[in-house]
Amino acid sequence: MLDNHLHRFCGGRYQRAVETVTIRVSGMSAEVQRELYRCMKCNDEQRTVEQRELAERAAVDRIRAEHALLLPKEIRQLRESIGVTPAQLGELLYGTPRGIVEGWERGRYLQNRETDALLRSLRDRETLERRAAKAGVTLPTPADAAPAAVPDSTAP
């Protein structure tokens, strides 16, 4: 985009370069390569939004793999298996805003380790029901739930 672009200030030209940066996300960090444009004459550096976002994505991917955090699609699947909306899942996670939950599911944000553990804990029905009761979230009846056993009083 800026490659070979004229730097009007000094008359030099920008060229693609790469730097190694440490990016922090949700209290964790990763070292990644980030592309930038550097003026060959005065060393002025420019980073496009796209370059920053690519590096942030790479950092998120690396951190997620390193800490074995749930993938975006795994979070969505977990939520769908519970049968709640992003807003309700946020309520189950101590009032996490809906936009954050949606960001996790789109891979835009990264849950920290504590939240990841909380999310996983909701796979346990008992834990889920306890959380739901405390958070005031009404859970749908599991579709596959067996009907409650009714004692047969007419049995001999």
* Residue 18 DSSP code: E
Among 23, 28, 39, 93, which residue interacts with Zn ion (rule: CB under 5 A)? 39
The SS3 assignment for 150 reads coil
| Contacts (CB under 5 A) with Zn ion, residues 42-61 | 42, 44
The answer to the question of residue 41 lying near Zn ion (CB under 5 A) is: yes
The answer to the question of residue 123 lying near Zn ion (CB under 5 A) is: no
Most distant pair of Cα atoms in the chain: their distance: 100
Our measurement of the distance from residue 14's CA atom to the centroid of its chain's CA atoms, rounded to an integer in Å, reads 34
The residue count for binding Zn ion (CB under 5 A) is 7
User: CB burial class (10 A; 0-12, 13-18, 19+) of residue 18?
Assistant: exposed
The answer to the question of residue 12 lying near Zn ion (CB under 5 A) is: yes
CB of 15 to Zn ion, least distance (A): 11
What are the phi and psi torsion angles at 9 (to 5°)? -60, -40
CB of 18 to Zn ion, least distance (A): 19
The answer to the question of residue 134 lying near Zn ion (CB under 5 A) is: no
CB of 4 to Zn ion, least distance (A): 13
Beta-carbon contacts of residue 46 (< 8 Å; ≥ 6 apart): 2, 14, 36, 37, 38
CB of 45 to Zn ion, least distance (A): 10
The answer to the question of residue 5 lying near Zn ion (CB under 5 A) is: no
The answer to the question of residue 103 lying near Zn ion (CB under 5 A) is: no
Nearest in space to 40 (alpha carbons), one of 16, 18, 66, 64: 16
Interface with Zn ion (CB under 5 A): 7, 10, 12, 39, 41-42, 44
